[in-house]
Amino acid sequence: MKPAPFRYFAASSLDHALSLKAEHGDEARFLAGGQSLIPAMNFRLARPAVLIDINGLAELAGIDRTRENEIRIGAVTRYRALERDGDFLKACPLFADALPQIAHPQIRNRGTIGGNLSHADPASELPAVALAMRARMRMKSARGEREVAASEFFVGLLTTAVETDEMLTEIILPVPAPGSGSCFMEIARRRGDFALAGVAGVITLDEERRCAAVRLALCGVGDTPVDASAAAASLVGQPCTDKAIDDVTAAVRDMIAPSGSVHASAAYQRHVAGVLVGRALKTALKRIGHAA
Amino acid sequence: MPPERHDIALTVNGTAYRGSVESRMLLSDFLRHDLRLAGTHVGCEHGVCGACTVLLDGAPVRSCLMLAVQADGHALVTVEGLALDPERLHPIQQAMHDHHGLQCGYCTPGILMTMTAFLSENPSPSEDDIREALSGNLCRCTGYQNIVDAMLDAALTMRTSP
Amino acid sequence: MTARYFGAAVRRNEDSRLLTGQALFIDDVELPGMLHAAFLRSQVAHARIRKIDVSKALRRPGVIAVYTAADLGAYWQAGPLLVPAPPIPGLIFNPRMQVPLAKDKVRHAGEPLAVVVAESRYIAEDALDDLLVDLDELPVVVELEPALATDAALVHDDVASNVASHAHQTKGDYRSAAAKAALVLKRRFHYEHGISSPIETRGVVAQWDARARHMTIWDTTQAPVFVRNGLAAILGLGERQVRVIAPFVGGGFGPKIMMFYPEEVTLPWIAMRLNRPVKWIEDRFEHFFATTHERGQIHDAEIALDRDGRILGVKDVFLHDTGAYNPYGLTVPLNSQCTLLGPYVIPAYDSTFTAVFTNLPIVTPYRGAGRQHGVFVIERLLDLAAHELKIDPTEIRRRNLIPPDAFPYRNEIIYQDFQPLEYDSGNYEPVLDKVLAAIGYDRFVRHEQPSLRAQGRCVGIGVACYVEGTGIGPYEGAKVQVQSNGKVSVATGVGTQGQGHFTSFAQIVADALGVDVRDVDIVTGDTDQFYWGAGTFASRGAVVAGNAVSAASQAVRNKALKLAAEAFECSEQDLVVADGKVSITGIPEKFIRLGELAQRANPMRGAVTPGTEPGLESTQYFGPAKGATANGVHAAVIEVDPETFDLKILKYVVVHDCGTVINPMILEGQIHGGVAQGIGNAFFEKLSFDEQGQLLNASLADYLLPTALDVPRMELDHTVTPSPLNPLGVKGAGEAGAIPVGAVFAQAIEDALQLKRRKVELNEIPLSPSRLFDLIRKGDT
């Protein structure tokens, strides 16, 4: 399982990378962690004629916490760096839950957040986390730069809003509100496998401990991550009783259209997505008031 | 048109190497066939089985998911670099021997590299910690139990010896 | 002779090479001028081949040659039948064997159509894309019952149907047994056993020396001797002109004993043709098609019992998927048929199977080799009967166990060694007792489970019994030689894929010759060193080769004693062999080192006594009259999440009896590994084919092997009922761990979820959380 031939460039700067991409268009792919791209190339399912290696672009890696309400992560930041940054994990607890579920440490030592989100595997954890957190994606090209909300970013199966000459350079995460609780959970056949269903939930309570806001996103149950926050709308303004959460569970089950796979029937995916919604929301609630 | 080649310089097990590699040569193939360090094994070439695990700047990675050209300027450690000297096995190798943690031995180098890195960061792991750390390396022969015992023993040895 | 090593947990001689990355595996073989092969494999499961155009590939730089079936000329022939028809009256058998490269017709997805030889595997794979194949697709048969329909497409046009074989075996009279029964239960069972998926795939390296007219083949085979003999014949060479070397092999588990795979046959021909060494290493994707599977059976089985749960008879009609070709004869379904009888007294048995050709890869034995299918059927029938008759599931088994005074126990029907099935020895009830004690069965059922249920936890227990036919013939041999330096060299024909032969055989030799086990060097799998014997399969290595090693060691010991007695002018009875020396009992300073004895036995000049043999060397063979029957019981406590249906194994116990144990550490390792594969089979591994015969999950990301988080810590124990069929009293153990796990899972999950109350039965393997959900949902509606 050897890859088909390609030309390789180690980009010396972001501008260099972008100009190469502009030149070669769809024939070129950016090589970041390579943990999704290289297996696809080894299977010859992907055959880029040009690989632009961006691992050397230090300016694209790192976690920027200088702003008050948001955290900016360079696209070439490896999962390894994220999972070792205690302050980051505390600020973004969904990542604390999700990162250990991504494949295995050997993969996380190379894979990057930008590569993950650009690849947009529907069963992947971080797209759902990005949706739940209302992340914004910054893209750059030789033509300029722009930002796209997560809700607009995941366009279709393995397809994002990133244009042919663009690179995802930064992920902007609004910091969850104080007094909110988060939880990400997934069901997979084995630890580290792609999720059969995964749920990212963020719930905020008001002073009377009624739900003030709720964000809910799922992975593994559609061609793209699914924003199911609307299905949880019934919770807003209510005390978060078991019954209220069950209603959200039922609404989410009605809303999603999983397609099934060799690992699970669509009916099972639908069922277990609901189980996870209930469990994730309850766990998120328990965590409120425990964070510093 | 002949395929383009790239000059690379890297260290493996403390020894400096230079090579000229085609863009698409996988790091696993470069180590095994160009450098003749065949201790790193290939099991799947899609990053799942872990047999090809090596240390890149101290961190375990799948060498089948890296291009040789990407290793330029980096320091690798493979299974050949584990033993303390030709007469003395690394505690993790010794423990695997003592606990019958290998049968066919094919997955073993990948496990040794994964767990060497893990134990250096986690000197007092529980059995659950070890199983989780092992879960990215597939073994078809042992059922893992003896490997877990070996790792618990190796952790103890490494904690208590100077 | 003191048994210093036999029976001890001796650490393995082979480990240091393996641990330091110094052991030679097939892809480590590097030869000057070596070329690399890649096979073009059919993308469709059933088609007529119109044309293969290789011209573009030949123009690619770095491509040396491209061959199709036509190029092989007279060399092209179907492989030999590896296992002929057993002497079953009325047997129907339509043997059809695989070919080196498909000609005229393709019969499964992945069947080789052409082979490219290039400077590197990378270029060879590039050239595969250059090959233009023109195929007329044909309807595909995948499912077993439709494959037998009168209008089904035929996998082999020269066979009137897709029946590969059909065998009916009986013992006693089932019909009258059923007539007398208090209970007759009938069910359909589906059992799928997946693929072996060792971490090392297959490979072949062939090197032809045109001047010496000698072919060397490195091959990841479990049967180097027969591969050598067969390839020599196919190549038109004498056997001694071919050397097959099975290097360190990264896991075998059965499919590496399938012989005359297309790649094994093609590579040596290429090496001769091009006069350059050539290597083929199967990649993981290819492995899903190119290496044999075990797959599935559909059983319609019934059991007749009296009101106390004693089995009066069993009737079973089953279909077996043999894939596109059946070179392994009836071995797998025959094992299913025989092993269904288990450790139980079954006075009447009526079993019929039809092996069916399908447009899927070939089926040959994989660890368990059809036994798990049979065990699942009988164990599930007993569980169903226990429920109906309100007898505890372990009690119903106990009542039916063959009593210890009934051995050798004749089960009459023909087994895979072509003899009437006979169990040599066994003592089954103590094994069951030990398992029940170890798992805490009574305490669990009476106290723990009710208490857990009260907490809302779904925890269940499963217990399953099995026998395992092991140690069958024909024979193995071993050559033992004391060298001048006192170290002992041993050669035997079996190969090693991790079973520890380098150690277990050395233990036998070390005890016989009084040397340190580390001073015994074992060579396996090199036909230049030893070229007799059948290979490593069917849990026979320790039994058959072990006994040959023992016989040869004893013969060498006897020679040493005789020589030393002559040298000391004393009686052999006065001598002791220990620490690498022969000395006079009580006078340790009067000794001769074994190495020196060996030298003395090989004089450079002078005369020898007529009839003597030089050196301290002996070659001996062992061929058992019949196979030895091992047995065991597994038990597990499993917790199931009632919402997600994922499960956790809380406790797993195995008690096994494989007779005398050579190395308990190695034995335990075999059990651990077998159970792990059994867990994969029961709950994780499923080959998903679509109706076009395409495998949808041909990668390790989607064909799920159990990880360290999926296999629990196991508690092992054993009893020892020696086999009377060989001097060491050993029985085989290689497959035992894998055999009953499906049955254990089904029983424990049913118990955990109280499925009998919901009228849901688990009569299929593999299971999964999704499958459990779907079955229960279906049951609830």
Quick: pLDDT tens for B63-93: 999 999 999 999 999 999 999 887 899 999 9
**Residue matched to tokens 């590579």:** C267
- Give the span between the Cα atoms of C694 and C42, in whole angstroms: 11
Q: Is the peptide bond before C664 cis (omega within 30 degrees of 0)?
A: no
First to last CA, chain C: 69
Integer Cα distance of C670 and C496 in angstroms: 13
Work out the minimum CA distance from C677 to partner chain B, whole angstroms: 7
Cβ contact A272–C643 (<8 Å): yes
Whether residue C408 is preceded by a cis peptide bond, meaning omega within 30 degrees of 0, is yes
Locate A276 and state its tokens.
């996870």
**Banded pLDDT at A292 (limits 50, 70, 90):** very low
Question: pLDDT at residue A291 above 70?
Answer: no
Chain C CB contacts of A1 under 8 Å are 125, 283-285
> How far B113 CA sits from the closest chain C CA (Å)?
11
| Amino acid, single-letter form, for residue C698 | A
Tell me whether residues C199 and B139 touch, CB distance under 8 A.
yes
Residue of C nearest to B107 (CA): C199
| C126 contacts in chain A (CB < 8 Å) | 4-5
Range A257-286 average pLDDT: 97
Residue A38 to residue B65, Cβ atoms within 8 A: yes
Distance, CA of C327 to CA of C96 (rounded, Å): 7
Query: Alpha helix locations (H) across C36-106?
Result: 55-59, 69-72
pLDDT < 50 regions, chain C: none
Distance CA A101, CA A108 (A): 10
Q: What is the pLDDT of residue B74?
A: 98
What does the pLDDT look like over A44-63, one tens digit per residue?
Answer: 999 999 999 999 999 999 99
CATH placement of domain A60-174:
3.30.465.10
Distance from CA of B153 to the nearest CA of C (A): 16
Is this model's pTM higher than 0.90 or not? yes
Per-residue pLDDT, C1: 54
Burial (0-12, 13-18, 19+ Cβ within 10 Å), A289 = exposed
DSSP C212-265: TTEEEEEE--S-HHHHHHHHHHHHT--GGGEEEE--B-S--SSTTT----HHHH
Pick from C18, C61, C201: which is nearest to B108 by CB?
Answer: C18
Candidates C402, C711, C667; CA nearest to C539 is: C667
- Is the fold of C401-412+422-471+626-680+715-781 the same as that of C473-484+501-519+531-622? yes
Task: Count the Cβ atoms, other than its own, within 10 Å of residue C212.
Answer: 9
**Residues across chain A:** 292
Neighbours of C16 (CB within 10 A): 15
Cβ-Cβ contacts under 8 Å for B88 (sequence gap 6 or more): none
- What digits encode the pLDDT tens for the residues A191-225? 999 999 999 999 999 989 999 999 999 999 999 99
Q: In this structure, which amino acid lies at residue C189?
A: F
CA distance A198 to chain C (A): 12
Provide the chain C residues 614-673 that lie in CB contact (below 8 A) with chain B: 665-666, 668-669, 671-673
- For residue A92, give how far its alpha carbon lies from the nearest alpha carbon of chain B (Å): 23
Q: What tokens were used for B146?
A: 């003896």
pLDDT at residue number C2: 61
CATH 3.30.365.10 holds for C473-484+501-519+531-622:
yes
- How far is Cα C208 from Cα C221, in angstroms, rounded to an integer? 19
* Phi (first) and psi of residue C184, to 5 degrees: -125, 125
pLDDT in tens, C446-489: 999 999 999 999 999 999 999 998 888 888 999 999 999 999 99
Of C696, C706, C774, the CB nearest to A262: C696
Outline where C281-370 has alpha helix (H): 284-290, 331-339
How many helices, marked H, and strands, marked E, lie in chain A?
A: 11, 14
Is residue A289 over pLDDT 70? no
ipTM over 0.95: yes
Strand C348-357's sheet: what is its strand order? C92-93, C163-171, C348-357, C311-323, C295-305, C183-193, C764-765
End-to-end CA distance of chain A: 50
Fold classification of C401-412+422-471+626-680+715-781 is Aldehyde Oxidoreductase; domain 4 (3.30.365)
Q: How far apart are CA A37 and CA A223, in angstroms?
A: 19
Question: Using a CB-CB distance cutoff of 8 angstroms, which residues of chain A are in contact with residue C706?
Answer: 190
User: What type of residue sits at position C472?
Assistant: I
The Cα C66–Cα C266 span in angstroms is 12
Kind of pairing between the strands at A28-31 and A50-53: parallel
- Pairing assessment for the beta strands C628-640 and C476-482 based on DSSP bridges: unpaired
Mean pLDDT, all residues of chain A: 96
Please give the Cα distance from C647 to C178 (Å, whole number).
38
Task: Provide CATH code, domain C31-392.
Answer: 3.30.365.10
Question: CB neighbours of C15 closer than 8 A, spacing ≥ 6?
Answer: B96, B97, B102, B105
Identify residue B61 by its one-letter amino acid code.
Answer: V
Q: Please, which chains are in contact with A (at least 3 CB pairs closer than 8 A)?
A: B, C
Determine which of A106, A109, A110, A112 to mutate to test the interface with B (most B C-beta atoms within 10 Å). A106
Pairing verdict, β C63-68 and C112-118? antiparallel
Helix (H) or strand (E) holding C280: strand C278-281
Judge whether C665 and C673 are in contact, CB under 8 Å: no
Is B66 strand, coil or helix? coil
Please report how many Cα atoms fall inside a 13 Å half-sphere around the Cα of residue A256, on the Cβ side.
36
Overall CATH class of domain B5-81: alpha beta
User: What is the rounded distance in angstroms from the CA atom of residue C147 to the CA atom of residue C607?
Assistant: 72
For residue B67, the chain A residues in CB contact (below 8 A) are 8, 31, 34, 38, 51
The residue among C388, C303, C305, C298 whose CA lies nearest residue C756 is C388
Q: Note whether C764 and C190 are within 8 A (CB).
A: yes
Chain B CA closest to residue A34? B65
Q: What tokens does B63 get?
A: 């060498």
Question: Which chains are within 8 Å of B by 3+ CB pairs?
Answer: A, C
The residue in chain B having the minimum alpha-carbon distance to the alpha carbon of residue A40 is B46
CA distance A145 to chain B (A): 28
Would the CB atoms of C125 and A267 count as touching at under 8 Å? no
Please name the member of A3, A80, A104 whose beta carbon is closest to the beta carbon of B24.
A3
Token pair listed for C247: 């290097």
Per-domain residue ranges of chain A: 7-53, 60-174, 180-287
With both helix axes pointing from N to C terminus, report the angle between C371-389 and C331-339 in degrees, rounded to the nearest 10: 30
Cis peptide before C740 (omega within 30 of 0): no
Question: Residues of CATH 3.10.20.30 domain(s) within chain B?
Answer: 5-81
- Residue C348: both structure tokens together: 């009447």
Fold adopted by A7-53? 3.30.43
Q: What's the rounded Cα separation, in Å, for the pair C570 and C504?
A: 33
Determine which of C282, C288, C644 to mutate to test the interface with A (most A C-beta atoms within 10 Å): C644
CATH topology (fold) of B91-160: DNA polymerase; domain 1 (1.10.150)
Phi, psi for residue C432 in degrees, rounded to 5: -60, -45
**A267: chain C residues, CB-CB within 8 Å:** 773-774, 777
CB contact under 8 A, A34 and B70: yes
pLDDT at B120 > cutoff 90: yes
Query: Is A43 an interface residue toward C (CB < 8 Å)?
Result: yes
Domain A180-287 CATH superfamily: CO dehydrogenase flavoprotein, C-terminal domain (3.30.390.50)
Q: How confident is the model at residue B162 (pLDDT cuts 50, 70, 90)?
A: low
